[in-house]
Amino acid sequence: MTKIIEFLIKPDPTDERLTEKVEGLDQHGQAVTTSVTVERPLTLFLNSREIVTMMTICDYPEFLAVGYLVNQNMLLPEDEITAIEYEEDIETVVVRTNSETNFEDKLRKKTLTSGCAQGTVFGDLMEKFDDVNLSPDVKLTTSELSVLLKKINTAPSLYLEAGAIHGCVLCVGSMPILYMEDVGRHNAVDKIAGYMFLNNIDGGDKIFYTTGRLTSEMVIKTVQMGIPILVSRSGFTAWGVDLAKQADLTLVGRARGERFVVLAGDHRIEYA
Protein backbone atom coordinates (compact mmCIF):
# COMPACT_ATOMS: atom_id res chain seq x y z
CA MET A 1 0.00 0.00 0.00
CA THR A 2 1.19 3.52 -0.83
CA LYS A 3 2.52 5.49 2.14
CA ILE A 4 0.12 8.22 3.20
CA ILE A 5 1.78 11.64 3.22
CA GLU A 6 0.50 15.18 2.82
CA PHE A 7 0.02 16.24 -0.81
CA LEU A 8 1.39 12.96 -2.16
CA ILE A 9 0.10 14.27 -5.49
CA LYS A 10 -0.78 17.92 -6.05
CA PRO A 11 -1.31 20.29 -8.99
CA ASP A 12 1.71 21.61 -10.85
CA PRO A 13 0.79 25.03 -12.30
CA THR A 14 4.32 25.28 -13.76
CA ASP A 15 3.68 22.34 -16.12
CA GLU A 16 3.79 24.01 -19.54
CA ARG A 17 1.53 21.34 -21.08
CA LEU A 18 -1.44 22.39 -18.95
CA THR A 19 -1.74 26.12 -19.68
CA GLU A 20 -0.95 28.53 -22.47
CA LYS A 21 -0.70 32.30 -22.74
CA VAL A 22 -3.35 34.18 -24.71
CA GLU A 23 -3.42 37.85 -25.67
CA GLY A 24 -6.56 39.89 -25.05
CA LEU A 25 -8.02 43.17 -23.82
CA ASP A 26 -9.14 44.15 -20.34
CA GLN A 27 -12.17 46.22 -19.29
CA HIS A 28 -10.29 49.41 -20.20
CA GLY A 29 -9.34 48.18 -23.66
CA GLN A 30 -5.74 47.67 -22.57
CA ALA A 31 -3.70 44.73 -23.87
CA VAL A 32 -3.35 41.86 -21.40
CA THR A 33 -1.75 38.43 -21.41
CA THR A 34 -3.52 35.73 -19.44
CA SER A 35 -3.11 32.02 -18.77
CA VAL A 36 -5.82 29.65 -20.01
CA THR A 37 -6.25 25.95 -19.27
CA VAL A 38 -5.51 23.53 -22.13
CA GLU A 39 -7.97 20.69 -22.68
CA ARG A 40 -7.38 17.71 -24.94
CA PRO A 41 -9.47 14.75 -26.14
CA LEU A 42 -8.56 11.36 -24.70
CA THR A 43 -10.17 8.20 -26.06
CA LEU A 44 -10.40 5.32 -23.60
CA PHE A 45 -10.32 1.66 -24.63
CA LEU A 46 -10.98 -1.30 -22.36
CA ASN A 47 -9.10 -4.13 -24.04
CA SER A 48 -10.22 -3.87 -27.68
CA ARG A 49 -13.44 -1.94 -26.97
CA GLU A 50 -13.72 1.83 -27.33
CA ILE A 51 -15.52 3.21 -24.29
CA VAL A 52 -15.59 7.00 -24.35
CA THR A 53 -13.75 10.12 -25.49
CA MET A 54 -13.17 12.58 -22.66
CA MET A 55 -12.00 16.18 -22.66
CA THR A 56 -9.23 16.44 -20.08
CA ILE A 57 -6.02 18.28 -19.21
CA CYS A 58 -4.40 14.83 -19.56
CA ASP A 59 -1.89 15.15 -16.72
CA TYR A 60 -2.64 11.68 -15.29
CA PRO A 61 -4.27 9.73 -18.15
CA GLU A 62 -3.62 6.31 -16.60
CA PHE A 63 -5.33 7.21 -13.31
CA LEU A 64 -8.20 8.85 -15.19
CA ALA A 65 -8.75 5.78 -17.38
CA VAL A 66 -8.76 3.29 -14.51
CA GLY A 67 -10.88 5.53 -12.28
CA TYR A 68 -13.48 6.02 -14.98
CA LEU A 69 -13.80 2.27 -15.46
CA VAL A 70 -13.94 1.64 -11.70
CA ASN A 71 -16.61 4.27 -11.11
CA GLN A 72 -18.69 2.90 -13.99
CA ASN A 73 -18.40 -0.65 -12.59
CA MET A 74 -16.57 -1.78 -15.71
CA LEU A 75 -13.61 -2.74 -13.54
CA LEU A 76 -14.29 -4.71 -10.38
CA PRO A 77 -11.92 -5.35 -7.44
CA GLU A 78 -11.30 -8.89 -8.64
CA ASP A 79 -10.30 -7.78 -12.15
CA GLU A 80 -6.57 -7.89 -12.85
CA ILE A 81 -5.08 -5.07 -14.91
CA THR A 82 -2.25 -6.42 -17.04
CA ALA A 83 -1.27 -3.17 -18.79
CA ILE A 84 -2.16 0.51 -19.19
CA GLU A 85 -0.93 1.96 -22.48
CA TYR A 86 -1.06 5.73 -23.09
CA GLU A 87 -0.25 6.98 -26.59
CA GLU A 88 0.03 10.76 -26.45
CA ASP A 89 0.41 11.25 -30.21
CA ILE A 90 -2.92 9.56 -31.00
CA GLU A 91 -4.64 10.69 -27.77
CA THR A 92 -5.65 7.22 -26.59
CA VAL A 93 -5.29 5.17 -23.43
CA VAL A 94 -5.89 1.41 -23.35
CA VAL A 95 -6.57 -0.51 -20.14
CA ARG A 96 -5.92 -4.21 -20.58
CA THR A 97 -7.21 -6.91 -18.23
CA ASN A 98 -6.49 -10.62 -17.87
CA SER A 99 -9.94 -11.45 -19.29
CA GLU A 100 -12.70 -9.72 -21.20
CA THR A 101 -15.16 -7.74 -19.08
CA ASN A 102 -18.90 -7.71 -19.66
CA PHE A 103 -19.99 -4.09 -20.04
CA GLU A 104 -22.21 -4.04 -23.15
CA ASP A 105 -25.40 -3.94 -21.09
CA LYS A 106 -24.01 -1.04 -19.09
CA LEU A 107 -23.30 0.91 -22.26
CA ARG A 108 -26.90 0.43 -23.38
CA LYS A 109 -28.14 1.82 -20.05
CA LYS A 110 -25.82 4.84 -20.09
CA THR A 111 -27.52 8.13 -19.23
CA LEU A 112 -26.26 11.70 -19.18
CA THR A 113 -25.77 13.36 -15.78
CA SER A 114 -25.31 16.95 -14.64
CA GLY A 115 -21.52 16.60 -14.68
CA CYS A 116 -19.41 18.84 -16.93
CA ALA A 117 -18.29 17.61 -20.36
CA GLN A 118 -18.64 13.82 -20.63
CA GLY A 119 -19.98 12.99 -17.15
CA THR A 120 -22.03 9.79 -17.27
CA VAL A 121 -23.60 7.34 -14.89
CA PHE A 122 -25.09 3.91 -15.50
CA GLY A 123 -28.55 2.95 -14.32
CA ASP A 124 -27.47 -0.10 -12.36
CA LEU A 125 -25.09 1.90 -10.12
CA MET A 126 -28.06 2.75 -7.92
CA GLU A 127 -28.50 -0.92 -7.04
CA LYS A 128 -25.28 -0.80 -5.02
CA PHE A 129 -26.69 1.66 -2.52
CA ASP A 130 -28.56 -1.11 -0.73
CA ASP A 131 -25.25 -2.86 -0.04
CA VAL A 132 -23.14 0.17 0.92
CA ASN A 133 -21.95 0.35 4.52
CA LEU A 134 -20.03 3.56 5.10
CA SER A 135 -18.20 3.64 8.41
CA PRO A 136 -20.23 5.45 11.09
CA ASP A 137 -17.14 5.81 13.29
CA VAL A 138 -15.20 8.28 11.14
CA LYS A 139 -15.38 11.77 12.62
CA LEU A 140 -14.44 15.22 11.32
CA THR A 141 -14.03 18.04 13.82
CA THR A 142 -14.83 21.60 12.86
CA SER A 143 -11.25 22.62 13.68
CA GLU A 144 -9.87 19.89 11.38
CA LEU A 145 -12.17 21.04 8.60
CA SER A 146 -11.03 24.65 8.97
CA VAL A 147 -7.35 23.64 8.78
CA LEU A 148 -8.02 21.34 5.82
CA LEU A 149 -9.80 24.06 3.84
CA LYS A 150 -6.96 26.49 4.41
CA LYS A 151 -4.35 23.98 3.21
CA ILE A 152 -6.33 23.21 0.06
CA ASN A 153 -7.24 26.80 -0.79
CA THR A 154 -3.68 28.10 -0.37
CA ALA A 155 -1.94 25.28 -2.26
CA PRO A 156 -0.55 26.19 -5.73
CA SER A 157 -3.06 25.08 -8.35
CA LEU A 158 -4.16 25.47 -11.94
CA TYR A 159 -7.31 27.08 -10.57
CA LEU A 160 -5.28 29.94 -9.12
CA GLU A 161 -3.07 30.10 -12.24
CA ALA A 162 -5.68 29.95 -14.99
CA GLY A 163 -9.14 29.07 -13.64
CA ALA A 164 -11.72 27.16 -15.72
CA ILE A 165 -10.99 23.98 -13.78
CA HIS A 166 -12.32 21.82 -10.93
CA GLY A 167 -10.37 20.32 -8.07
CA CYS A 168 -10.89 17.22 -5.92
CA VAL A 169 -8.87 16.18 -2.88
CA LEU A 170 -8.65 12.90 -0.95
CA CYS A 171 -7.97 13.65 2.72
CA VAL A 172 -7.50 12.11 6.15
CA GLY A 173 -8.55 14.41 8.99
CA SER A 174 -6.90 17.76 8.28
CA MET A 175 -4.32 16.24 5.88
CA PRO A 176 -4.78 16.50 2.08
CA ILE A 177 -3.32 13.42 0.36
CA LEU A 178 -4.24 13.44 -3.34
CA TYR A 179 -5.14 16.74 -5.05
CA MET A 180 -6.29 16.37 -8.66
CA GLU A 181 -7.67 18.98 -11.06
CA ASP A 182 -9.41 18.76 -14.44
CA VAL A 183 -11.82 20.64 -16.69
CA GLY A 184 -14.66 18.39 -15.49
CA ARG A 185 -15.09 17.57 -11.82
CA HIS A 186 -15.96 13.96 -12.72
CA ASN A 187 -12.50 13.62 -14.31
CA ALA A 188 -10.82 14.86 -11.13
CA VAL A 189 -12.84 12.34 -9.11
CA ASP A 190 -11.96 9.52 -11.47
CA LYS A 191 -8.23 10.29 -11.27
CA ILE A 192 -8.39 9.86 -7.51
CA ALA A 193 -10.46 6.68 -7.84
CA GLY A 194 -7.92 5.29 -10.30
CA TYR A 195 -4.99 6.05 -8.01
CA MET A 196 -6.82 4.43 -5.10
CA PHE A 197 -7.58 1.30 -7.14
CA LEU A 198 -4.02 0.92 -8.44
CA ASN A 199 -2.42 1.55 -5.04
CA ASN A 200 -4.90 -0.38 -2.87
CA ILE A 201 -5.96 2.68 -0.87
CA ASP A 202 -9.09 2.13 1.22
CA GLY A 203 -11.63 4.95 1.39
CA GLY A 204 -13.25 3.89 4.66
CA ASP A 205 -11.42 6.44 6.84
CA LYS A 206 -11.10 9.19 4.23
CA ILE A 207 -12.72 12.55 3.45
CA PHE A 208 -13.41 13.74 -0.09
CA TYR A 209 -13.29 17.43 -0.99
CA THR A 210 -14.51 18.96 -4.24
CA THR A 211 -14.79 22.46 -5.62
CA GLY A 212 -17.88 21.42 -7.58
CA ARG A 213 -21.56 21.15 -6.76
CA LEU A 214 -22.79 18.31 -4.56
CA THR A 215 -24.83 16.57 -7.24
CA SER A 216 -26.13 13.02 -7.54
CA GLU A 217 -23.04 12.12 -9.58
CA MET A 218 -20.65 13.37 -6.90
CA VAL A 219 -22.52 11.48 -4.20
CA ILE A 220 -22.64 8.26 -6.24
CA LYS A 221 -18.91 8.32 -6.99
CA THR A 222 -17.96 9.15 -3.40
CA VAL A 223 -20.09 6.28 -2.09
CA GLN A 224 -18.63 3.95 -4.74
CA MET A 225 -15.17 4.72 -3.37
CA GLY A 226 -16.38 3.87 0.15
CA ILE A 227 -15.64 7.37 1.47
CA PRO A 228 -18.00 8.43 4.31
CA ILE A 229 -17.58 12.25 4.22
CA LEU A 230 -17.99 14.55 1.19
CA VAL A 231 -17.18 18.27 1.46
CA SER A 232 -17.59 21.09 -1.06
CA ARG A 233 -17.22 24.84 -1.14
CA SER A 234 -20.23 24.85 -3.47
CA GLY A 235 -23.92 24.05 -2.93
CA PHE A 236 -26.24 21.05 -3.14
CA THR A 237 -28.82 19.51 -5.44
CA ALA A 238 -31.94 17.93 -3.96
CA TRP A 239 -31.21 14.51 -5.44
CA GLY A 240 -27.64 14.67 -4.19
CA VAL A 241 -28.93 15.26 -0.66
CA ASP A 242 -31.51 12.48 -0.94
CA LEU A 243 -28.91 9.97 -2.12
CA ALA A 244 -26.48 11.01 0.62
CA LYS A 245 -29.17 10.38 3.25
CA GLN A 246 -29.98 7.01 1.67
CA ALA A 247 -26.31 5.93 1.81
CA ASP A 248 -25.63 7.60 5.20
CA LEU A 249 -22.97 9.80 3.57
CA THR A 250 -21.99 12.94 5.47
CA LEU A 251 -22.62 15.84 3.07
CA VAL A 252 -21.00 19.19 3.90
CA GLY A 253 -21.49 22.11 1.53
CA ARG A 254 -20.82 25.85 1.28
CA ALA A 255 -17.61 25.22 3.22
CA ARG A 256 -15.55 28.40 3.30
CA GLY A 257 -13.29 29.37 6.18
CA GLU A 258 -15.10 28.32 9.34
CA ARG A 259 -18.57 28.33 7.77
CA PHE A 260 -20.40 25.30 6.33
CA VAL A 261 -23.78 23.57 6.10
CA VAL A 262 -24.38 19.85 6.77
CA LEU A 263 -27.47 18.35 5.08
CA ALA A 264 -26.83 14.63 5.64
CA GLY A 265 -24.88 12.40 8.02
CA ASP A 266 -24.30 15.08 10.67
CA HIS A 267 -23.40 12.38 13.24
CA ARG A 268 -19.84 12.36 11.87
CA ILE A 269 -19.29 16.08 12.56
CA GLU A 270 -17.86 17.06 15.95
CA TYR A 271 -18.06 20.71 16.94
CA ALA A 272 -14.62 21.14 18.47
Going residue by residue through the chain, which has 272 residues, state the pLDDT in tens, using 9 for 90 and above. 567 899 999 999 999 999 999 999 999 999 999 999 999 999 999 998 999 999 999 999 999 999 999 988 888 888 899 999 999 999 999 999 998 766 655 555 554 444 554 444 445 556 566 678 999 999 999 999 999 999 999 999 999 888 889 999 999 999 999 999 999 889 999 999 999 999 999 999 999 999 999 999 899 999 989 999 999 999 999 999 999 999 999 999 999 999 999 999 999 999 99
Do residues 69 and 182 both lie within one domain? no
User: Which of 168, 187, 216 shows the shortest CA–CA distance to 52?
Assistant: 187
Do residues 112 and 197 both lie within one domain? no
Q: What is the predicted pLDDT for the residue at 112? A: 45
Question: What's the pTM value of the predicted model, to 2 decimals?
Answer: 0.90
Give domain status of residue 131, yes or no. no
Domain end position, chosen among 95, 123, 151: 123
Give domain status of residue 133, yes or no. no
Give domain status of residue 24, yes or no. no
Q: What is the predicted pLDDT for the residue at 106? A: 56
Q: What is the predicted pLDDT for the residue at 99? A: 81
Q: Which domain holds residue 168?
A: 140-270
Helix (H) or strand (E) holding 253: strand 250-256
Do residues 89 and 155 both lie within one domain? no
Domain end position, chosen among 123, 152, 169: 123
- How far are the Cα atoms of 134, 180, 208, 234 from residue 167, in angstroms, in the given order? 23, 6, 11, 12
Do residues 255 and 153 both lie within one domain? yes
CATH of the domain at 200: 3.40.140.10
Do residues 207 and 146 both lie within one domain? yes
Do residues 114 and 161 both lie within one domain? no
Give domain status of residue 8, yes or no. no
Do residues 114 and 153 both lie within one domain? no
Q: Per the structure, how many domains does the chain have? A: 2
User: Which of 52, 23, 67 shows the shortest CA–CA distance to 182?
Assistant: 67
Do residues 248 and 148 both lie within one domain? yes
